[in-house]
Chain A
Amino acid sequence: SQQGEEDPQALSIQEGENATMNCSYKTSINNLQWYRQNSGRGLVHLILIRSNEREKHSGRLRVTLDTSKKSSSLLITASRAADTASYFCAPGFQGGSEKLVFGKGTKLTVNP
């Protein structure tokens, strides 16, 4: 199906450690977005990486994209308790409309 699949489903780390989440998809994309959702809230856009980009940074976030492997990763460096949330990837597929398809996400817990 046309959606990203995040891995792992859950991740628990200590404050200060790095957190890495992965996203895989099946068909060609124009771009890929990452979103964060705090418990009981709406999603917040984190970063968009285009298909011709390999890496993008935003503050403590680093996103990589490997179109040959159809995968992306989100790295959060020096994690904080406030980073505790679910993280979703949303591939923007070629020939698709504006709709995005979200997977089940990675639930990140950062322990103080």
Chain B
Amino acid sequence: DGGITQSPKYLFRKEGQNVTLSCEQNLNHDAMYWYRQDPGQGLRLIYYSQIVNDFQKGDIAEGYSVSREKKESFPLTVTSAQKNPTAFYLCASSFGRTGQSSYEQYFGPGTRLTVT
């Protein structure tokens, strides 16, 4: 059963704590992405990775960190430096090869993070 999974669906943290969101895919995709979505807003790109052991900052990378040690996994850490971390976080993947046209992105179900 191929797909992209995110866990957990809901996450609650106290202010000042780091938290790591999981994203796993078994689609054999090279590229993976993290987006943030605030209520009534579109998606904003946090980080993306086109190949293992490499990743690039998106539009709102400050306060976040990622790793890409395995092709299947692209965890996102929301650090205490992120000023307003409460949001809906979406992970996606695509075949993506550098220099090629944009490919269809497959999205996970999302993680809703609440920080109080």
B101 touches which one: A30, A35, A103 (CB < 8 A)?
A30
Please determine whether B104 and A33 come into contact, CB atoms closer than 8 angstroms: yes
Chain A residues lying within 8 Å of B25, measured Cβ to Cβ, are none
**A25 interface residue per 8 A CB criterion:** no
Please determine whether A98 and B106 come into contact, CB atoms closer than 8 angstroms: no
Minimum CB distance partner of A93 in chain B: B102
Please determine whether A42 and B45 come into contact, CB atoms closer than 8 angstroms: no
Minimum CB distance partner of B88 in chain A: A40
User: Could you list 21 A-B pairs, sorted by A, with CB under 8 Å?
Assistant: A33-B104, A33-B105, A40-B88, A41-B110, A42-B90, A42-B92, A45-B106, A92-B101, A92-B102, A97-B48, A97-B56, A97-B98, A98-B50, A98-B96, A98-B97, A99-B58, A99-B102, A100-B102, A101-B59, A102-B43, A105-B42
Q: How many A residues, CB 8 Å from partner?
A: 27
Q: How many B residues, CB 8 Å from partner?
A: 32
Please determine whether A42 and B109 come into contact, CB atoms closer than 8 angstroms: yes
CB distance from A102 to the nearest CB of B (A): 4
Interface bits B54-74 vs A (CB < 8 Å: 1, else 0) = 001011000000000000000
Chain B residues lying within 8 Å of A35, measured Cβ to Cβ, are 105
- 7 interchain residue pairs of minimum CB distance: A92-B102, A42-B107, A98-B96, A30-B101, A104-B42, A102-B43, A43-B107
